[in-house]
Amino acid sequence: MHPSKTTVLLAEGASAMRQALASQLQTFGFGQVLQARDGARALQLLRAEPVHVVICDLDMQGLDGLAVLEAMRAEPKLAGLPFILMSGGLDRDSAARAIRLGIGDLLVKPFTVRRLIERMQRVLQRDAPAPLRTGAPDEHPPLEPVPEPERATILVVDDTPDNLQLLAGLFRDRFKVKIAHNGEKALAICQSDAPPDLILLDVMMPGMDGFEVARRLREHHASECTPIIFVTAMTDDASRHQGLSLGAIDYVFKPIEPELLHLRVSNLMYYVEHRKQLQKDFDQMHENSRLQAELERMRVELQRLRGG
């Protein structure tokens, strides 16, 4: 089925994130993107509207993503509908439950829209005779997988060139480092197809300050879970509280202690690598389950051909 004739149901509790993701899906050529703010509304739409694929967040108020999936699998009309689950904190037991319920795919946050489209292509192709194309002909060709970077990436955001060079120089020996001299450029990098794994963010910048950058980062699926460390000369308790309340992992005062900052970043990178490994583990669990199901289908078919 051509994406322009594909109806997507997007269930996500965060309004700004849901609207941004819906807009990007439409930009890639999907015809209609229905939006649900919670699980109950998602099921209501599924029962009332023809939908071809569901993209659902795990963590929603009321019925969470797994409860929605379980309810769908119990209804004949919805039982075979492709379902992609998004989560920032999925554990192995929940992943195994989702796989048993016949999930189409699992996406660990943060993820890029490019990765989501790749996963949607894969899920929809399982039931489609021809490869899925996004957008008009020759406008958005099928996406090639994005290779994982060899080294983790840090984004340093500061309006002062000396600070940019100082912080970048601390980490270039171990990590890939990107720099941004203002909030707008930082957002563009973080919401691109190659977002950073961790952000070192100044607060006092002209135009968009660091607090506003952090707020906008948390409203986008590509940066919702990206660790942020504020590195700032604002040492008062109110500013520190504001920074941490915006989801920052740490709040470091200038002038920095290079060795201490290096340790903090190194410790956080273990968290980053853990999330990446979770995605790999879930993908392997899903593939193993699919192969087992295929082997069982072949075994049953062979028995049938042999006459029982």
* Residue 116, domain CATH: 3.40.50.2300
Q: Do 16 and 92 fall within a single domain?
A: yes
Locate the DSSP E strands across the chain. 7-11, 32-36, 53-57, 83-87, 105-108, 153-157, 176-180, 198-201, 228-232, 250-253
Backbone φ and ψ for 232, nearest 5 degrees, come out as -150, 160
Answer yes or no: do 264 and 159 share one domain: yes
Residues 122 and 240 in one domain: no
Does a structural domain hold residue 7? Answer: yes
CA distances from 234 to 202, 238, 243 (A): 9, 9, 10
DSSP 5: G
Does residue 63 share a domain with residue 176? no
Same domain for 80 and 201, yes or no, is no
State the pLDDT at residue 95. 87
DSSP 3-state of 179: strand
Q: What is the pLDDT of residue 1?
A: 60
Residue numbers of the domain that contains 182: 153-271
Write down the pLDDT at residue 130. 40
29 & 131 share domain? yes
Give the pair of three-digit tokens for residue 166.
């100082």
Each residue's pLDDT tens digit, 98-132: 888 888 999 988 888 888 888 888 888 865 444 44
Do 139 and 17 sit in the same domain of this protein? yes
Q: Give the residue from 145, 178, 196 where a domain finishes.
A: 145
Do residues 7 and 138 both lie within one domain? yes
CA separation for the pair 285, 77 (Å, rounded): 27
Looking at the fold, whether 121 and 243 belong to one and the same domain comes out as no
**In a domain? residue 283:** no
pLDDT in tens, 227-248: 999 999 999 999 999 999 999 9
Question: What's the CA gap between 235 and 215, in Å, rounded?
Answer: 20
Q: Name the stretches of the chain with pLDDT < 50.
A: 128-141, 146
**Residues 47 and 165 both lie in one domain:** no
pTM, entire model = 0.70
Q: What is the identity of the amino acid at 185?
A: K
Number of domains present in the structure of the chain:
2
What are the residues whose beta carbons fall under 8 Å from the beta carbon of 220, sequence distance 6 or more?
Answer: 16, 17, 20, 190, 191
Tell whether 307 is covered by a domain. Answer: no
Domain endpoint, select from 145, 161, 185: 145
83 is a domain residue:
yes
Do 119 and 226 reside in the same domain of the chain? no
Indicate whether 10 belongs to any domain. Answer: yes
- Same domain flag for 224 and 138: no
Residue 180, CB-side half-sphere exposure with 13 Å CA sphere: 26
* 287, part of any domain: no
Q: How far is CA 122 from CA 24, 53, 100, 242, in A?
A: 18, 12, 19, 41
